[in-house]
Structure 1
Amino acid sequence: MIGLSQRPQLPSLPARVEAIDLARGIAIALMILSHAVSGLLGIRQVPDWGMVPIHLFTKFSSSLFILVFGIALAVAFLPKVGTPDWPKRRRKLMLRGLEVLFWYKALTIVEMLPLFTPQEILETLLYQRFAIWVEILGFYALALLWLPWVLPLWCRMPLWSRLLAPVVVGVLSVMLERHFHFWGSEIFKALLVEDADHYTWGQLARLPLVMMGLLIGEAILRWYGEPASRWRLVGCLAGVGALFLVGFAALSLSEPYAMLLAVAWNDGKHPPEVPFMLFSIGGALVIMALCLLGGQRAALWLKPLTVIGSDALRAFIFHIVAIFLVLRLLLGAWQVYSYPQVLGIGLGLILLTAGWIALIRRFRELSR
């Protein structure tokens, strides 16, 4: 039995867990599909049958992406905390953060070129306003600059406090978002806990999801290698995910379709609200459970998604450039195609992204 005072048990895994790559790849694929629709057609042009159920399912993407971020941190880096190698690993994470920050700014220009003036783009680069489609990258960039410094604290916390931390941080974030003025700075508020007037991802607002990912990553480190314990882990994740979805259903009893449509329209996504997060996190946990259940076999069957998940940054760069620079700016593809055609473009972009990553990887192997 696990004691509530127990600190993390963090054995290193002998091989890469491809199920994590698969889950990340699914998150990115759903994101590509959503971005293709909103970037080439516009949400207001989507028919009702496209909003529910098709566009609705893409709402699992953001929570799954951030959840996997925490899982990957736990699996790859928590076992190294406190070892002589940790300063090097911490520096690696922070350098990765700077790399992501560079691409966040570069892709901000790419996203905004077809839509905004040079002055508006400059203001966005200087954190005077925010873009939309690339903001998730801004979240990761900042998180990678400060999270490495608090991972050692996480490793010293007893289990009861690690379980309680996501709840405490979530409540604190909501209280700050609703009741604290942040010295009149909407930008600072948006970066930390989000603001209704800015489509961004708050560090504190999304930290509970990262913490949930750290907890799941700890469980993977301990139990993924044995089939019996893996089944228990999968069952636990699927059960919690189902519980979240049941909670969303309970809130939707009076108007179920209206609630589903509201989620599809991103109501309650920024800042996060209970119905949206119950649906999004519940679906993300179920997908994560299925990926762990399928393991290496599922990762092989769904190889294009696994390839995308193995190089998330390159996948993100490729699809943003393809949608906004090539299709929207150079080819003038804004509201040219019907919704089914845009869906087809999105699915094609998923396969092209996987092919691009595989091709770059092959070039690197041949150049060694």
Structure 2
Amino acid sequence: MWKRLAAAVGVMFALAGCGQGQQKAPAPVAPAAKAAGPAPAYRAKPSPTLLAIKARGYLRCGVHPGLSGFAFRDSKGNWRGFDVDICRAVAAATLGDAQAVRYSAITAQDRFSALQAGEVDILSRNTSWTLTRDASLGLDFPAITYYDGQGFMVPKALSLTSADELTGARICVQAGTASEANLADYFRARSLKYTPVVVASEADARNAYQTETCDAFTADVAALASARSVMNNPGAHVILPTVISKEPIGPVVRQDDPAWTDIVRWTVYALVLAEEYGVDSKTAPEALNTSLDVRVRRLLGAQDAFGPMLGLSNDWAYKTIVQVGAYDEIFARNVGPDSALRLERGHNALWNAAQPGLLYAPPIR
């Protein structure tokens, strides 16, 4: 028995000695996971609105009946203006033809019901984005095209410097607009008294102001500048520096077609990106063929395929830019230095401009 025990102990020591100076066997390694490939592209349902537009051959656009710089008929009866150009851009993106638009002049009171009833495909009519309008009307605001705010116009002869000096004044305001509620909120918060002169349209408000039925006229600052530009003596009136609200303005569509919302949204963003990348209606053709900037190539459809994701051709943005222009071109000719309004870019400057504004578009990638 002692011999067997000694032999067992000897075997144990021998085994222990064999492990000295040798590496342990590596632990089993789990098989490497297979590299994941790109996620399959999500295929959204085709936009019913887009299909209807293609079937009829034109876009139906609801615009202001007449607001200089934004939507008005020229001497030949053609619609022109900043908001009109937004619809032209959408027509170019979807149909390849910026002229394939039929316009409907819609009042402030009827604008949402006309869109809800399907009378127009898009509303492009100085309409502010608010929670109530976004959440309770079955409508969507795809993007902001113009950052504005409510102000006041008064006769220069009054030498006023602030809206707070309008206590006791008669103030013209258009019915059915956010301006009516903003006016009441502002004066109530400051315990100021005023007499509202509520009229049906912007033209009525302008006429009432010119005939001195009211002492001041309140509306979005851009609308006031538009009204002043067509008055008998524009230089006799000033827009006070007081701005009492935020009015983010942009096109409106029905909420039941998210693919259409995306189309309108990215058409607006394409206009903004074109300005940011230094591409316009004149330089786009050359940039399409020679630009080495991947951002420009993607925007114009020379690289990758983003248009089909929206149900559009790959050169959708190129057609829009060439036919309608980049954002800065649209702004300049309608409301900026090349127009009667001569509005400054202000908040509507690019985010990276020398004097930065709020204009910012997500990237196409």
Q: TM-score range by the shorter chain?
A: under 0.3
Superposition TM-score, scaled by structure 2 size: 0.24
Please state which structure has a larger fraction of its residues in helix: 1
Superposition TM-score, scaled by structure 1 size: 0.24
* Structure with more contact order per residue of length (Cα contacts < 8 Å, sep ≥ 6): 1
In terms of Rg, which structure is larger?
2
